[in-house]
Amino acid sequence: MGMRNIIVGQSGGPTSVINSSLAGVYKTAIERGFDKVYGMLHGIQGFLDEQYVDLSTQIHSDMDIELLKRTPSAFLGSCRYKLPEIHEDMEIYEKIFGILDKLEIEAFIYIGGNDSMDTIKKLSDYAIVKGHKQKFLGVPKTIDNDLALTDHTPGFGSAAKYIGASTKEVIRDALGLTYKKEMITIIEVMGRNAGWLTGATALAKTEECEGPDLIYLPEVPFDIDAFLSKIKDLLKEKKSIIVAVSEGIKLPDGRYVCELSGGGDYVDAFGHKQLTGTAAYLANFLGAEIGCKTRAVEFSTLQRSASHMASRVDINEAFMVGGAAVKAADEGDSGKMVVIDRVSDDPYMSAAGIYDVHKIANNEKTVPREWLNETADYVTEEFINYIEPLIQGDYPPFMVNGLPQHLVLKK
């Protein structure tokens, strides 16, 4: 009898907890008696170049597992690589399965977002058609929370927690500086088509903080005249105005707001425009229209890699779904993604479920219209109630010489 090996890869944009899922895969695979746990480097793209490591050469102890859980961004390296349709290029699939056979892989676990689930779907379809025995399982990961069928995605809670905490700090910063003169601060948050993270700025609304004044999600066309008029009204009441906008807000004619300032030129492999400059554009616009001081704050890549502000709920769920994927593969499932089911709200409890990946791939979950107020410039209490349990609890970094320590790949 041959080896029982398993391989895991990471794909798409980084999160604070993508390595907690990797840790969950590794630990569960060892516990369930897999012989070797391989990690593909830079996802399926590196795998095609036969770039992989035996994870036992990287993770030596439970301490390493804990350090891995506190390390942001893909430990194994990520990729944005879309497999061709099966009928378009059989050779690439033959190559992949050739390597899988050579490594005696029983299960292939892929941690990623929408685009990565497309990879799981194609590989599991190919395996079924060609009679290969390998199992293909997806583990959800994205700060954007835009995956269908899962209550939420690992990575979202930690990004939301960082955004909530940083928004509180930005609000305090601005309040301290506004006495006689007004200042408008525009905070730009990630989320191309889904406003989950932008809405998370509302978490800053607490006992001792007013939170943002206006929140604009990409789900609803952005009316720049209504926006200007709202700002003018707010300036009658207060000196410091805080606005949160998604990087992906669009005008009614479909153009991104950031395109107005010349952004949006770069297009990635999946045809997504790279968005920057929405807050800067709006800050300049308001400065010119109103003549007051404005400021643009982009949370930029910090929001997806700030493992020093990770949510304990998120870290634990990321670990859980990694482990659940291994268990599912070991029990014979394939072509499926693990999901998080919300079992109860108060106390918050969740469990791992499993769904057919054909129902998930390339299907974006956006914020429902009814979770925005009527004028579409703030989120509702339902939105907050949904998100609040996901930011609870801390997972403090291991501090070495004053800074968070990470586990990194030894080559």
Using CB under 8 A as the binding rule, the residues of this chain from 242 to 271 that contact a copy of itself are 266
Using CB under 8 A as the binding rule, the residues of this chain from 168 to 197 that contact a copy of itself are 168-170, 172-177, 179-180
Using CB under 8 A as the binding rule, the residues of this chain from 195 to 224 that contact a copy of itself are 203-204, 206-209
Write a three-state SS string for 269-330.
CCCCECCCCHHHHHHHHHHHHHCCEEEEEECCCHHHHCHHHCEHHHHHHHHHHHHHHHHHHH
Burial class (CB in 10 A: 0-12, 13-18, 19+), 53: middle
**Smallest separation (angstroms) from a copy of itself to the CB of 126:** 23
**Pairwise CA distance, residues 237 & 230, whole Å:** 11
Q: Which residue in 107, 162, 161 sits closest to 139, CA to CA?
A: 107
**Smallest separation (angstroms) from a copy of itself to the CB of 178:** 8
Q: Tell me whether residue 64 is annotated as binding.
A: no
Establish if 150 lies at the interface with a copy of itself (CB under 8 A): no
**Smallest separation (angstroms) from a copy of itself to the CB of 276:** 7
With CB under 8 A as the contact rule, the residue among 121, 161, 250, 365 that binds a copy of itself is 161
Minimum CB distance to a copy of itself smaller for 145 or for 366: 145
**Pairwise CA distance, residues 248 & 251, whole Å:** 10
Establish if 385 lies at the interface with a copy of itself (CB under 8 A): no
Q: Tell me whether residue 369 is annotated as binding.
A: no
Using CB under 8 A as the binding rule, the residues of this chain from 351 to 380 that contact a copy of itself are none
314 assigned to active site: no
Q: Tell me whether residue 190 is annotated as binding.
A: yes
With CB under 8 A as the contact rule, the residue among 20, 119, 198, 276 that binds a copy of itself is 276
Q: Tell me whether residue 401 is annotated as binding.
A: no
Total Cβ atoms within 10 A of residue 332: 8
Task: Extract the tokens encoding 242.
Answer: 């805080």
Establish if 119 lies at the interface with a copy of itself (CB under 8 A): no
Q: Which residue in 248, 171, 263, 259 sits closest to 217, CA to CA?
A: 248
Catalytic residue among 115, 118, 125, 144: 144
Q: Tell me whether residue 49 is annotated as binding.
A: no
**Smallest separation (angstroms) from a copy of itself to the CB of 33:** 30
User: What number of chain residues touch a copy of itself (CB under 8 A)?
Assistant: 74
Asked if residues 137 and 110 have their Cβ atoms less than 8 Å apart, the reply is yes
**Smallest separation (angstroms) from a copy of itself to the CB of 405:** 7
Using CB under 8 A as the binding rule, the residues of this chain from 281 to 340 that contact a copy of itself are 287, 293, 295-302, 304-309, 311
Torsion on CA atoms 95, 96, 102, 108, rounded to nearest 10? -170
**Smallest separation (angstroms) from a copy of itself to the CB of 283:** 9
Q: Which residues contact 402 (CB under 8 A, 6 or more apart)?
A: none
Q: Specify the 3-state DSSP secondary structure of 63.
A: helix
Please give the distance of CA 333 from its chain centroid, rounded to a whole number: 25
Using CB under 8 A as the binding rule, the residues of this chain from 38 to 77 that contact a copy of itself are 41-42, 45-46, 71-75, 77
**Pairwise CA distance, residues 379 & 201, whole Å:** 10
Total Cβ atoms within 10 A of residue 207: 4
Q: Tell me whether residue 144 is annotated as binding.
A: yes
Asked if residues 407 and 57 have their Cβ atoms less than 8 Å apart, the reply is no
Select the span of 78-86, 103-111, 146-154, 227-235 touching a copy of itself (CB under 8 A). 78-86
- Binding-site entries for diphosphate: 13
- Binding-site entries: 13, 114, 142-144, 190-192, 247
- Binding-site entries for Mg(2+): 114
Give catalytic residues, as residue numbers.
144
